[in-house]
Amino acid sequence: MYAGHFAAGLAIKARVPKAPTWGLLLGVGFLDILFGPFVLLGIERARVTPGISPGFSLDTIDWSHSLLMSLVWAGLYAAAFWSKGRAVAAAMGLAVFSHFLLDLPMHPPDLALWPGSSVHLGFGLWRSLPTGWWFVELGVIMLGVGYYWARSRRPGAEFGGRPALVALVVLLLHVANSPWLSPK
């Protein structure tokens, strides 16, 4: 998933307004932010697969995306925000772990239980619905951004000054990541 992760971050923000927005949005992408350097360093492996949805194969992503490491990274990220209070730290941890949860339906079984585990999870919508997955993720985006928008309208809300623009940006990111437009 991609833009759907941002929607999850915004939904968490709507629930825990005291959590810094930048921290939540960074958190929901944290596992992928780790993935990049891990691949460049040779710790993890991926291949570009033109013509085969979603256009790449994540051969070994255990250190960034396994269930165990997702929980470890979530705990470490939450700890970095401990000084902001338990609710904020918990929100940050949830933001990181939500990435694993939202990747589950999309990824083929490439999400290991732990590094080196032979058991891999993933419901594979990227493969089974080569264009339909985009609409599934759109539904996630509408739920997350919709909740964020609604909560931002409450009197006294200290976030969400421009929910329409936020929604537009997230939707544009989703369109840019569509099967019809994303780079091959």
Smallest gap from residue 37 Cβ to another protein (A): 7
Count of CB atoms situated within 10 Å of the CB of 14: 22
Residue 48 gets the label, from left (phi > 0), alpha (psi -120 to 50) or beta, of beta
What is the secondary structure of 107-150 as a DSSP string?
S-S-EESSTT-S-EE---HHHHSTTHHHHHHHHHHHHHHHHHHH
Q: HSE (CB half, 13 Å, CA atoms) of 94?
A: 15
Smallest gap from residue 143 Cβ to another protein (A): 17
Partners of residue 86 on adjacent β-strands = none
Smallest gap from residue 176 Cβ to another protein (A): 9
Pick between residue 38 and residue 93 the one whose CB is nearest to another protein: 38
**Where do contacts with another protein occur on this chain (CB under 8 A)?**
2, 5-6, 10, 13, 20-22, 25-26, 29, 32-33, 35-37, 39-40, 46-48, 56, 157-162, 165-166, 169-170, 173, 177, 183-184
Pick between residue 44 and residue 78 the one whose CB is nearest to another protein: 44
Pick between residue 32 and residue 127 the one whose CB is nearest to another protein: 32
